[in-house]
Amino acid sequence: MTRPIIGWEQEAPVPDGHQFKSYLRAENGRLHMNNFDLAQLFLGGGVEHKLGRILPSPLEIVFLPLIRRQIAYLEEIFADVRAELDYEGQFLYAYASKANAAEEVIRTTLGAGAHHEMSSTIDVDIARKMIVRGLLTPDRWLVCNGFKGLGTGYSANIIRIKDEHDKVVPVLDDLVELTPFHNSGKKFEMGLRQKAYGPQTTIDEVEAANSRFGMDVETLWKTAEYIDAAPNLSLKMHHFMVGSQLTERAAFVDYLRPGLETFAQLRQRYPSLSIFNFGGGMPVAMTLDFEFDYRAFAHKLLTAAQEICGRYNVPVPDIMGEFGRYTTAEHGAHLFKIIAAKDNKSDLPWYIIDGSIMSSFPDSWALGEHFVVLPLNHLDKPFQQVQLGGITCDSDDVYPPKGSTAPLYLPTETDDLYIGFFSIGAYQEMLGGVRGSKHCVLPEAYELVVDETEDGRFRFELIRGQTPDEVLTNLGYGPQNAWLKIATE
Ligand SMILES: Cc1ncc(COP(=O)(O)O)c(C=O)c1O
């Protein structure tokens, strides 16, 4: 197995102008993110950024133009391929809010024209706020995944929002989820989720999959019949998600074929069915060695849909994807200062950062996932191979993750050295939690939201970090805590 490339892998300095990724470039010894000199946030100098202040480290930074870029890129590819293949269905880009539900993210995805996929009752509240603000417009689909059985707050909230927004599709993961929507008496266009997970290319393999999500084929057809028989319900969407980060383009589409086949069979019986939703899983660059041909994927997927639907003599579907990681991974970075270079005769020197790797990027220690790490300054100095230690008192608070063979090189010059973890914008913050109390009671960092105006200037919002009092109050030590305690006998 090849190992991931997570940064600069040489002792020589990084040549000026070196492009690590389309949006990360070395310039005058500093790292630039879309023309924005990151080190200036802590050290000043560089481009005039009009922030008017030096910021404290650690610092989270989110770059909203990168979200828009992702959406526009895939929209453009599918538009081209649809034209080339005379594909009659539409491409529907939905954002999977579970990847990152922050307000600035949702406002950006909706502002860029995305449909919206959600998985819990608070997600419905977020959608409601976006309807009121005019960002979730009547033309957008609201796709409701996640468990929504009878008596759950989620099903009740979906039923309520139907009065505020018409294009709501509850996607049934199980027959038991049908009842609330049937009983509501409201007209709902429904989705069905077929059980699917992993490398399956035949319907028998799909049926044998061990997955907590979706229905087996027999239950799927039975649920479709119930929907058809209900006067207020109709079948609109078939949902078939096969996994996450499927970097083998050819295999990805092959795994989707049994789902397309089931779609075509259902479509023969239920003409209201018009959307094939392949869920999430679209890969995105988490490391520097990433390669994926999105255009070839789109071509192969639409060709497969044409071929299969042609065989069943049914119209091709509108194709929907629920893009979580693809949309948000690259827009987020987390910046730290190296506060000590420690040589305790371990295999490699330890560079200690002023924050926690574990609680900032839970997928790194929990799943051994890799992210890109680059210095923000001293790129023009020699490098050495190192390991990173977080500031918590925990032996797992290290990077590269334990067991990894990916080398990490950073500058030997550690005076005022700042580094960034990149491609961390999806899931990490939601898993680590926003605000609250973190491992070893470290307060949450400041966050800088960066956007670009139409004339190419940067625009900032600065969200302050947690104060010690906030952390203490959260743990029950503040005077306000008396108000939170509910009286018991
Ligand atoms: C139903 C559903 N849709 C979409 C997604 C988003 O997946 P990804 O972030 O890989 O795009 C997930 C992720 O778990 C999911 O469960």
DSSP codes, 306-361: HHHHHHHT-PPPEEEEEESHHHHGGGEEEEEEEEEEE-SSSSSPEEEESS-HHHH-
- 288 & 351 share domain: no
- Asked if residue 486 belongs to a domain, the reply is no
- CATH code of residue 430: 2.40.37.10
Residue nearest to atom 12 of ligand 1 (CA): 280
**Best of 116, 244, 427 to mutate for ligand 1, by most ligand atoms within 8 A of CB?**
244
Cα–Cα distances (Å) from 287 to 22, 50, 399, 402, 472, in that order, read 13, 31, 14, 17, 37
Assess if residue 150 is contained within a domain.
Answer: yes
pLDDT per residue, tens digit, the chain (489 aa), is 578 999 999 999 999 999 999 999 999 999 999 889 999 999 987 666 667 789 999 999 999 999 999 999 999 999 999 999 999 999 999 999 999 999 999 999 999 999 999 999 999 999 999 999 999 999 999 999 999 988 999 999 999 999 999 999 999 999 999 999 999 999 999 999 999 988 888 999 989 988 899 999 999 999 999 999 999 999 999 999 998 777 676 689 999 999 999 999 999 999 999 999 999 989 999 999 988 999 999 999 999 999 999 999 999 999 999 999 999 999 999 999 999 999 999 999 999 999 999 999 999 999 999 999 999 999 999 999 999 999 998 999 999 999 999 999 999 999 999 999 999 999 988 888 888 888 888 889 999 999 998 888 889 999 999 998 888 888 888 877 776 778 777
Say whether both 147 and 158 belong to one domain.
Answer: yes
- Extract the runs of DSSP E, i.e. beta strands, from 145-187: 168-172
**Which residue puts its alpha carbon closest to atom 5 of ligand 1?**
280
41 and 176 part of one domain: no
pLDDT tens-digit readout, 189-248: 999 999 998 888 899 998 998 889 999 999 999 999 999 999 999 999 999 999 877 767
Among residues 328, 361, 383, which one ends one of the domains?
328
Q: Which residues line ligand 1 (CB under 6 A)?
A: 96, 98-99, 117, 145, 241, 244, 279-282, 322-326, 426
Instruction: Say if residues 209 and 196 touch (Cβ distance below 8 Å).
Output: yes
Enclosing domain of residue 195: 66-328
What is the 81 CA–ligand 1 centroid distance (Å)?
A: 24
Q: Both 51 and 79 in a single domain?
A: no
Last residue of a domain, one of 295, 328, 361: 328
Annotate 98-112 with b (16+ C-beta within 10 A) or e (fewer): bbbbbebbbbbbbeb
Residue-wise DSSP of 182-239: HHH-S-EEEEEEB---SS--SHHHHHH---SSSB-HHHHHHHHHHHHHSTTEEEEEEE
Same domain, 127 and 151: yes
Domain edge (last residue) among 297, 328, 359: 328
Residues 173 and 186 in one domain: yes
Neighbours of 344 (CB within 10 A): 6
Strand segments (E) across 412-486:
418-422, 446-452, 458-463
Cα gap 322→233, rounded to integer Å = 23
How many distinct structural domains can be found in the chain?
A: 2
Residue 398 in contact with residue 413, Cβ under 8 Å? no
Would 10 be classed as within a structural domain? no
pLDDT at 456: 83
Q: What are 332-386's pLDDT values in tens digits? A: 999 999 999 999 999 999 999 999 999 999 999 999 999 999 999 999 999 999 9
One domain, residues 142 and 238: yes
Looking at the structure, tell me whether residues 124 and 254 fall in a common domain: yes
Determine the residue of 252, 278, 322, 328 to mutate for testing ligand 1's pocket, defined as the one with the most ligand atoms within 8 A of the Cβ atom. 322
d(CA 418, CA 411): 10
Which atom of ligand 1 sits closest to the CA of residue 244? 10
On whether residue 255 sits in a domain, the answer given is: yes
3-state secondary structure of 424: coil
Does 272 share its domain with 154?
Answer: yes
Residue 224: which CATH number? 3.20.20.10
**Within-domain flag for 303:** yes
Q: Which of 98, 211, 278, 431 maximizes ligand 1 atoms within 8 Å of its Cβ, making it the mutation to test the pocket? A: 98
Both 180 and 322 in one domain: the answer is yes
Q: Which residue's alpha carbon is nearest to atom 14 within ligand 1?
A: 280
